[in-house]
Amino acid sequence: MDPILEMRGITKEFPGVKALDNVNMVVRRGEIRALCGENGAGKSTLMKVLSGVYPHGSYDGEILYNGKPMAFRGIPDSEELGIVIIHQELALVPQMSIAENIFLGNEIATRGVIDRHETNRRTAELLAKVGLRESPETKVGELGMGKQQLVEIAKALSKKVDLLILDEPTSSLNENDSAALLRLLAGFREQGMTAIMISHKLNEISQVCDSITVLRDGATVSHHSGMVPESQIIKDMVGRSMNDRYPPREPKIGEVVMQVRDWTVADPLREGRMLVDNASFELKRGEVLGIAGLMGAGRTELAMSLFGRSMGDFRKGSATIRGKEVDLATVPKAIKAGLAYVTEDRKSLGLVLEDTIRRNIPLANLKGISTRGVIDRHREGQVARDYRKQINIRSSSVDQVMANLSGGNQQKVVLSKWLFSEPEILILDEPTRGIDVGAKYEIYTIIRDLAAAGKSIIVISSEMPELLGITDRILVMNEGRLVGDMPTAEATQERIMSIIIKSGHNLTEEDITPEEIEAEVAHV
């Protein structure tokens, strides 16, 4: 065994919090190591210690790299030795080209004058390595998330990399792009690169990782070399056994509540392309309806266009709620009609991050806490405290600022906000993205209880097991069209995937062979 990295007794304290408590980790040369743990377990902190974001001296413990003790003062120090970190939130400038992004801060230049030919030539080489067929001069903003992630990796490769750290690299990718990324990582391993991958997705971990380290509450709780059952990893992560990842429920489905007919929304940026194309569906009382599909299939577009035409150019279509046609032309009208929409991107679309829990919750229903435009602060506080207790928002008080909450608790606040608007129909867009296993279960429980209380719920999710686990019926969407509709009891991941693939023509550009499709389906 030839360790490339040893971290010994790493302890890192922030004012009032011990983020890392005597963490030990040894990484072998040439392996892919998975680093798992709930949000707040200390994974990112540990990687920041390793890459020098937290300089030597701000933590206790020792880092041995290639057998030598290291004292990084900052990221440049660690990068020089071949340790490169790719953060969860991509650090790309959308207005700049791929080539400009890759060599940002590291330009190929003579006396300050950039050599564009050499830059583009080297970029083309790097893009070939990561399998991205794009011109080096393409603006990054024009690329999808999957391709942006590849650019980020190409950027990492532009430096000398021996140890690549990826912080949830697939969190914003669809199944196809995730699979491609994982294949790429496996390829790098063949060439002798070592990688540490932080991930929540246990299926991906079992796919490419050689060993697993689990952190909980800032301490190493287990290390597994080779594969172990998912249930074991989950147990290590949450500190309790979780046989059931989804709460049991008995659906009580009633009459049809909402009907959408021929809903069509055009892409404002590309002439003639439809984001949503003649979508028609029904939603029943007490039903949890899932919408499956790849990223860019039009699911968010469908939801947001229903919710006050917040996305795309509305072309045609009608919506009826309880048999009456409703006007959903603006967000206030949609809310009045009984709709609520919990966004996919809670930080930039769902919350006022610098504000407190108390002030975020009533935002969609200020009338509910005010009389003639004057806010009753005591009522407001009461509402916030009730939700905090009812759906278990973990915080010091309702006056805590949103930015300081974990992802799962932020999501619970967004949910509270929409619950307080008392909707009949709740659309949840990727409700558990970036949330740890424990909080996911709580969110599922909330969804179940809402359905039991007679609300109708639409769940958009890219995690198929989740859809299979919590919904009653699943719609499949691809290229803006609804291409499948089945009871969840009859659905399988394979069936959904094959519907998507058979219905699509856009996949030709990805050049996916039948073998790859099979491999894909087997993985998910």
Partner 1 sequence: MSDTTETRAGGDTFGFIRRNIREYGILFALIIIMAFFQVVTGGILFRPVNLTNLFLQNSHIVIMAVGMLLIIVAGHIDLSVGSVAAFVGALAALMIVKLGLPIPVVVVLSLMAGALIGAAQGYWVAYWKIPSFIVTLAGMLIFRGLTMWILQGQSIGPFPREFQMIASGFIPDFFGPDKPNTLSLILGWGAALIILWLQVRNRRREETLGIADEPFAFFVAKNALIFVALAWMTWALANFRGLPNVFIVMAVLVALYAFLSERTTIGRRIFAIGGNAKAAKLSGINSERVVFLTFMNMGMLAALAGLVVSARLNSATPKAGVGFELDVIAAVFIGGASMSGGVGTVIGAVVGAFIMGVMNNGMSILGIGIDYQQVIKGLVLMAAVIFDVSNKSKS
Residues that bind partner 1 (CB under 8 A): 40, 307-308, 310, 330-332, 334-335, 341, 343, 348-355, 359, 362-364, 366-367, 370, 373-375, 377-378, 381-382, 385, 394-399, 404-406, 409, 417, 421
134 vs 217 by CB, closer to partner 1: 217
3-state SS track over 208-239? HCCEEEEEECCEEEEEEECCCCHHHHHHHHHC
Least distance CB 478 / partner 1 (angstroms): 26
192 vs 373 by CB, closer to partner 1: 373
Token look-up 């005591």 returns 378
Least distance CB 404 / partner 1 (angstroms): 7
- Indicate the DSSP class of residue 97: B
Phi-psi label, residue 367: left if phi above 0, alpha if psi -120 to 50, beta otherwise: alpha
- Find residue 292's DSSP bridge partners: 476
- Dist. CA 166–CA 44, nearest whole Å: 10
166 vs 398 by CB, closer to partner 1: 398
Q: How far is CA 4 from each of CA 7, 25, 162, 280, 350, rounded to the nearest angstrom?
A: 10, 11, 9, 56, 42
Least distance CB 31 / partner 1 (angstroms): 32
Least distance CB 120 / partner 1 (angstroms): 35
Least distance CB 352 / partner 1 (angstroms): 3
269 vs 374 by CB, closer to partner 1: 374
Q: How far is CA 161 from each of CA 83, 90, 297, rounded to the nearest angstrom?
A: 6, 18, 35
**Residue 230 in contact with residue 242, Cβ under 8 Å?**
no
- Dist. CA 147–CA 126, nearest whole Å: 13
Token look-up 């569906």 returns 281
- Dist. CA 420–CA 90, nearest whole Å: 34
Cβ partners under 8 Å of residue 250, min gap 6 = none
Q: How far is CA 119 from each of CA 116, 143, 155, 497, 502, rounded to the nearest angstrom?
A: 5, 19, 12, 40, 40
Least distance CB 374 / partner 1 (angstroms): 5
Report the candidate in 320, 350, 351 with the shortest Cα–Cα distance to residue 425: 320
191 vs 371 by CB, closer to partner 1: 371
Least distance CB 512 / partner 1 (angstroms): 35
Cβ partners under 8 Å of residue 62, min gap 6 = 6, 7, 8, 9, 10, 69
Least distance CB 45 / partner 1 (angstroms): 13
65 vs 420 by CB, closer to partner 1: 420
Least distance CB 363 / partner 1 (angstroms): 5
Least distance CB 356 / partner 1 (angstroms): 11
198 vs 351 by CB, closer to partner 1: 351
Least distance CB 416 / partner 1 (angstroms): 13
For the residues of 123-139, what is the DSSP string, one character each? HHHHHHHHT----TTSB
371 vs 513 by CB, closer to partner 1: 371
Q: How far is CA 272 from each of CA 141, 163, 347, rounded to the nearest angstrom?
A: 21, 46, 32
323 vs 373 by CB, closer to partner 1: 373
83 vs 405 by CB, closer to partner 1: 405
Token look-up 């009461």 returns 382
Structural tokens at position 467: 């859809």
336 in helix, strand or coil?
helix
**Residue 291 in contact with residue 475, Cβ under 8 Å?**
yes
Angle 486-428-275 from CA coordinates, rounded to 5°: 70
* Residues constituting the chain: 524
25 vs 46 by CB, closer to partner 1: 46
- Dist. CA 206–CA 225, nearest whole Å: 11
203 vs 397 by CB, closer to partner 1: 397
**Residue 457 in contact with residue 447, Cβ under 8 Å?**
yes
Least distance CB 48 / partner 1 (angstroms): 16
249 vs 359 by CB, closer to partner 1: 359
Least distance CB 21 / partner 1 (angstroms): 14
